[in-house]
Structures are given as structure tokens and as C-alpha cells.
Homo-oligomer: A and B are copies of this chain.
Amino acid sequence: MPNPPTIKEIAKRLNLAASTVSRALHNHPRIGLRTRMKVQELARELQYEPNQTAIFFQQKKTFTLGIVLPELSEAFFSAAISGIEDTANKSNYMVLLGQSHDDTTREQKIVEIMKNHRVDGLLVSLAKNTVNYAHFEMLRKYNIPVVFFDRIPNMPNIHYVASNMESGTIQAVSFLLQRGHRVIGMINGPEKLIASQQRTAGYQKAMQLQRLKYDASLNINADLTKEGTRNAMRQLLAHKRKITAIVAFNDYVSQDAVQYALEQGLEINKDITFVSYANLPLSSYMAFPPLASVEQYPYLQGQKATEILLELLSGKLSPDQYQQIVIDSRLVIAPAR
């Protein structure tokens, strides 16, 4: 009811200067033990709480991190944000959220609002179609550091954390080869995507490791839609060589592919085996989960990205020491069930 107690209030009651009270509360050595105790006691008694907005204003700092990402309903991002939040909280930072819903315009607007809210820094995973990065460049002028994660811009001089699909893909293909599969199809993503290129590279290298020939016609670029996946499957199943295993771009694609295979009368894990990349946490509930899955460590990515941002903010890292962390993906074999 009465206004929340302020430092001035405490100062007045104790016949001290506000500055003294402030210092006393911060255990400043220049303040005598006796007054320090008196101040702290009264503060406790009055349930004094520093007014953060005043501090933010005064310090030009809000202890708030802005997060811009496409879509929380995607498991990858909801895991990533947990990593972000946990890490931020440890350093007493809060997390301001904005979903772009994969819309560049929304993304721009969110960045603008967050800038106005004076977030100390930004963690960003790009909207699918964002190709113009002006709204991020602009932040340099305001000295707001940005760390990108997972979906990173094609731009030099940025901080980012991303996962490299190559390592996981090598492992995935090797896993299949080891199990005797020789003709392995790949339902890949759009060709321009770095993630697709990495998958291709992984496929090639895995074959090379076994001194086997890489057959590009087994590697199909699809568009990640259900129809696109079905078309890719059609192609693959019609291939002159008999395909016994398929590496799918992600779990969604994998499921669509499985469905198609079932329709064609194939028996999963017998006639044809699937390996995928983990986007889903619920694979244990899926009808035919992939036999193995490439883990991309979303939590870890969020964590790393946040750590970098925090170091940037604390000055431990200078803004032009561009951090570009690549987290190797890794194959995880599904537990038998």
C-alpha cells in the first residue's frame, strides 16, 4: 500500500545520505561496519527491494536477452530455448521471447521492438526465408551483440553456433554399411541449404571410407513437404538398384517416407530400413521410428550460444573476436523395443 521503500527512505530514517545507504547495501568497504549493519537491518525490516528499472536506466543495461526464433512448437527450438534460459538464468539474465513464425517481416519487427526494449543482446535463429540481414546489421550501431544459432545467416563476421551434419551423416551411413546395406538412398533437403550440402558431404565421405563408390542418383533433393517426400520415395523405389536403406532429412520426412513405403507393401526394417535426424522427442511413440537418429544437440547449441553472448556482454570476449562454433552431430542408435 505505501509505496515500496527506496534507498532515500532508508537514508532519511537513518539520517544518512542516500549514497551511503547504497554503498552500505553493496558492502562497500568505505562504509563503517556499524552503519553498514544498521542499514542492512533496516533494509531487511522494510523489505527493501532495489528498483530494477531505475538500475537498468542508470546502468544502461537490462540484464535481458532477446531470443528470436521461428517456432517454439518445433521440438528443436523448444529444447534450444531451455538451454538458453537455463544458462541465462545462471547469470541472472532474463529471456525475452519472440517467434518469427518463419516470417521475415515479423522477424524484423521483433528485432526492432527488442532493440527498443534495450535488450543487452540477441540470440537468433533465422526465419526460413530471411535473406536480407539489414535488421541485424543495424544492431551494430546500437552495440547490441547478436549470436546466431542453428539457422545462421550467410554472412561474414558474425558469431554463431551451429551443428555440422556431416559427422552425423558419416556415422549414419557407416552404420548402415556395417549392417550390410549397400544401396542407400538419401532424401535430402533443398540443395542450397548448408545442412543439405553437409549431408551430401557426409554421405560421400562415408562411402569413401569403405572405398565404395558414391552414386549421386541415390541422393535426392526434396523440399521437405509430404508430397515432396513421396515423390522422392517414388524415385528411390524405382531406382534400378534395389535400395534397402534410406537416410531421411529429418524425422518428419522419415515418417512420411515410412508411410509411403508401407503403402507400397514394404515391410519396415526388413525390406527397407530408415535412419534419420532427430527433430522429434517422441520417436518412442512413433509407429516405425528410425532405427537410428542423428542428434543435433539443441540444448547444447542454445547453451553455447548463450555462453558466447554472455561473454560478449561481460567483455570477456571482444565483439570482433568472431566465435563460430560448430557442434558435431552424432548418431544415436535407437534402443530396441
Contact = CB atoms under 8 A, between A and B. Distances in A.
Interface stretch (A19-27, A56-64, A121-129): A56-64
B52 A117 contact: yes
A96 interface: yes
Interface in A77-136: 78-79, 81-82, 85, 89, 92, 94-99, 113-118
Interface stretch (A151-159, A232-240, A278-286, A315-323): A278-286
A51 interface: yes
Number of copies: 2
B99 A97 contact: no
Contacts of A115: 49
Given A53-B56, A53-B57, A95 B97 contact: yes
Contacts of A89: 98, 113
Contacts of A113: 89, 92, 94
Contact of A85 (B85, B97, B118): B97
A334 to B, nearest CB: 14
Nearest to A113: B94
A96 B99 contact: no
A75 interface: yes
A287 B288 CA distance: 7
A72 B78 contact: yes
A4 interface: yes
Contact of A287 (B57, B79, B82, B286): B286
A314 interface: no
A63 B116 CA distance: 11
A193 interface: no
Interface in A38-70: 49-54, 56-57, 60, 62-64, 67
A76 to B, nearest CB: 10
Nearest to A280: B282
A286 B81 CA distance: 25
Nearest to A62: B53
A73 interface: yes
11 contacts: A51-B118, A57-B57, A64-B96, A94-B96, A94-B114, A95-B98, A96-B96, A96-B97, A255-B285, A285-B286, A285-B287
In the complex, the 7 A-B pairs of residues with the closest C-beta atoms, listed nearest first: A287-B287, A57-B57, A72-B78, A53-B57, A73-B78, A255-B285, A97-B97
